[in-house]
Amino acid sequence: MAFILSFWMIFLMDSVIVLLSFVCFVCIWICVLLFSTVLLISKLNNIYCTWDFTASKFIDVYWFTIGGMFSLGLLLRLCLLLYFGHLDFVSFDLCKVVGFRWYWVYFIFGETTIFSNLILESDYIIGDLRL
């Protein structure tokens, strides 16, 4: 049981890393977009003027930096999974998933089996037809 819990903890940590890196990427992208909009549209003598835009080193550096940070976040996720796999703490070598009509069966590492049912076993009625 502890092995399965550790597997789900690693899965949860992996999901959090991916979610946080994506959320940070989107938030920073929106903030820079709003900031650049304020810079490009300014009010002079009570008249809104837009400046001609041809190129910007700021935007080039921005896309390179933010994209690199997003890639590093995903690389961190991969390195953590490889590290825990090397320690035999958790191994993602084999996970066979078989889906039936009413339930899923997960064969993890060849020796652990997890059943995922849509209903509780206590709700089964003996003699029901099941595939």
How far is 47 from 126, CA to CA, in rounded Å? 79
Task: Please say whether the beta carbons of 118 and 51 come within 8 A.
Answer: no
Residue 13 class from Cβ within 10 Å (0-12 exposed, 13-18 middle, 19+ buried)?
middle
Q: Are 108 and 8 contacting, i.e. CB atoms less than 8 angstroms apart?
A: no
| pLDDT (tens digit per residue) in 65-115 | 878 887 887 788 777 777 777 776 655 556 677 777 667 777 776 577 776
Residue-wise pLDDT for 34-64, tens only, equals 877 776 666 555 666 665 556 677 777 777 8
